[in-house]
Amino acid sequence: MSAQAIPILMVVGTAALLSLLFLGLSGWLGPYRPNSLKSTTYECGVPARSTVQIRFFVRFFLVALLFLLFDLETVFLYPWAILFRSMVAEGRAAFALGEMGAFVAVLVVGFVYVWKKGGLEWQ
């Protein structure tokens, strides 16, 4: 177990315990008087339909997909960026920049294609 990760576990535990504590406190202090009107879905005053049947736009899915691809790119960029400084010192920075440039350029081609196809238009 890397020692660095132990505090994170502590933080997760503390956050979970504290939130439970406050929720319990609120449950103890607060009233509990449910009635059928109170537990209806909020709909600005008019009676609500029982369930929501919204089909999400395909756009949202596409945004998530684009995000995923760029996210993967940044994941690759981080280890590269860490080494860039030492590559500059060793005089191999041009190679490093070229290599990552090629990687990003290929992605940018795809990005431009999506752009031209109208994938970035919200309307």
Q: How far is the CB of 76 from other proteins (least distance, A)?
A: 7
> What sign results for the dihedral spanned by CA atoms 90, 95, 96, 97?
positive
- The amino acid occupying position 99 is E
Interior/surface letters 10-45, b for 16+ CB within 10 angstroms, e for the rest: eeeeeeeeeeeeeeeeeeeeeeeeeeeeeeeeeeee
Q: How far is the CB of 90 from other proteins (least distance, A)?
A: 11
Q: How far is the CB of 21 from other proteins (least distance, A)?
A: 10
How far apart (Å, rounded) are the C-alpha atoms in residues 84 and 76?
A: 13
Q: How far is the CB of 105 from other proteins (least distance, A)?
A: 8
CA 26 to chain centre: 30
